[in-house]
Structure 1
């Protein structure tokens, strides 16, 4: 590999190749984009555009002309995006393992081969009994990934953080594909769909964490902010999580069920919209306090407090706007994507609360 294709960062303990950097960023962007495409599926009523999983129809992988036109295309497009996200996650993992130690890639590929063989066997055994054979196949692959992850992390000589983050993304994408299938098979159960979105948001945070740790030094780290600031930052994270949780419940109880024939019942969306706003305003106050404090004390994280404050401010503005306009689909979709970007910005902020201990001090 030539010097021009490698950005060597001695402080990280590994040589970070340019392809890995590019793919890591693409993986992050893809995780954000798939939230947008998933939102489009739901907000256009295309949730059942493909009636089966993982096939689109019982006899076809792709939508057929007799289906609901654009709905099948939108739903299948989101499924295709899942494949893109998965391939990027796999590429990041393999390049990470290659950078971290000899033999790790070979063992991972052996586990992959074993998982495929196990999946084929599971499919062959369950298909004759009209059981969800593709589900068993996917479950076998996911099990192989989890076992491979455990084996790999035990053998990784350094930078367990990078290896763990890369493995979690791949396993998460595979699990998400299964959850998406369950959402279709349960006819868009609100709780399954809500979990599907929340898991996607968490994967955005994990890929963001990888980008941060990719350029960080290995070894012990020390806090670079006052203890009270770190505590306040973690309390802010709790407020963010609660806000997102009630946002998911509110959307799940609202008019955008994902299919025109599915009417949500249960929670009162109007009441939940107000409840959702309470932790949102608390979150805004906490973020404002963090930003003012960080800039007053000239803390190293002050730039990221502004990024988080801007994301939350725009998010609140869009939230108020969509509520007053009767939840138009475009604004709801923007609100969903902005929530993931806010969570990603918070993830970076928290990881920046500590920095590596200088070599001379170790």
Structure 2
């Protein structure tokens, strides 16, 4: 970004008034840079969920007993707090890494030529979800790991993953009007699949809130339901999602659908089978921490692929001058 270091007075005023516009005027990232920035934000959204799960599964949820400081007198963890303090504080530090990844995605999207406002807004939406979830994470600590706030913390993280997934996909597409690749019945079936998957995640947070992994070695309130009963409901919903996915794959095959939707659906089906195996294994083995953590990772991956299936049902070609779709847009979904 040549010239940024040699600022005139007018440049300095421009930086203060609108730093993003200042950078965008002097830097044009390659489209792959924008895509990588969006992917980095998505990866970090998953990492923050998995490390947050590690905090809970190691009993480190109150390793830093207050917020925003780690203790009343220290911003960071202390030697007296031991490993639990290190784990909890480390997870807090990763929030800054997540913010940096989202910030990079925003800057890259804003600097792309021509400026894609929709893509930039997706980046800003992620930023505000991260800020809201950081505050909610602090509330979780201040209320002693209340299970309802913990569930809300995870659901906001799932919303962040959804936004990051959409931005990643949109970064690999154009801004032309979406063109459906399948008929209305298929789109309706996928809509039901998305809703069932979202419900599966919500019920999963109830299993977590009622189950034995409270997040701290001390007495922590749990959601007052039998977690094993809710776990069985969770399993039933999982089988509903698997069945819907298989039905979708079978129907797409029957109508000779494009390669993109078929490939995403096949991948989702395999992910669901692996996630189901993990779910049953952790139940039969009395919820070992490692398997529970892998199941949380699987939940994130499943949610990403459900959304990719939804997004693969249409294409958005890259527009050339004059508003006509360019030829480079055609293989977009086939390479998703």
Under a length normalisation based on structure 2, what TM-score does the superposition of the two structures give? Answer: 0.83
What per-residue deviation string (whole Å, max 9, x for no partner) do you get for residues 110-135 of structure 1? xxxxxxxxxxxxxxxxxxxxxxxxxx
| Structure 1 pair 276–226 and aligned structure 2 pair: CA distance change class (3 A) | same
Q: Which residue of 2 aligns with 1:98?
A: 111
Unaligned runs of 5+ in 2: 3-27, 327-336
1:298 Cα deviation from its structure 2 partner: 2.8
1:269 to 222, 227, 232: 227
What per-residue deviation string (whole Å, max 9, x for no partner) do you get for residues 199-222 of structure 1? 112211211111110021112112
Q: How many residues align?
A: 294
What per-residue deviation string (whole Å, max 9, x for no partner) do you get for residues 289-332 of structure 1? 11122233331210000111111111111111111111111111
Q: Distance in 2 between matches of 1:329 and 1:304?
A: 30
1:81 equivalent to 2:39? Answer no
1:175 equivalent to 2:132? Answer yes
1:265 Cα deviation from its structure 2 partner: 4.9
Q: Distance in 2 between matches of 1:267 and 1:173?
A: 30
Contact kept, 8 Å, 2:49 with 2:154, in 1: the verdict is yes
Counterparts of 1:119-268 in structure 2, within 5 Å, are 159-263=116-220, 264-268=222-226
Q: Distance in 1 between matches of 2:192 and 2:33?
A: 37
| Structure 1 pair 266–286 and aligned structure 2 pair: CA distance change class (3 A) | same
Under a length normalisation based on structure 1, what TM-score does the superposition of the two structures give? Answer: 0.77
Q: Distance in 2 between matches of 1:185 and 1:262?
A: 15
Q: Which residue of 2 aligns with 1:65?
A: 79
For residue 315 of structure 2, give the secondary structure of its aligned residue in structure 1.
strand
Q: After the TM superposition, which of the residue ranges 231-240 and 91-100 deviates more from structure 2?
A: 91-100
Measured on the aligned residues, the alpha-carbon RMSD in Å equals 2.0
Q: Distance in 1 between matches of 2:296 and 2:42?
A: 16
Q: Distance in 2 between matches of 1:360 and 1:82?
A: 42
1:184 Cα deviation from its structure 2 partner: 0.2
Q: Distance in 2 between matches of 1:31 and 1:296?
A: 36
1:33 to 47, 51, 61: 47
Q: Distance in 2 between matches of 1:196 and 1:208?
A: 19
Q: After the TM superposition, which of the residue ranges 352-361 and 223-232 deviates more from structure 2?
A: 352-361
Counterparts of 1:19-30 in structure 2, within 5 Å, are 19-30=33-44
1:95 Cα deviation from its structure 2 partner: 2.0
Q: Distance in 1 between matches of 2:265 and 2:137?
A: 34
1:356 Cα deviation from its structure 2 partner: 2.7
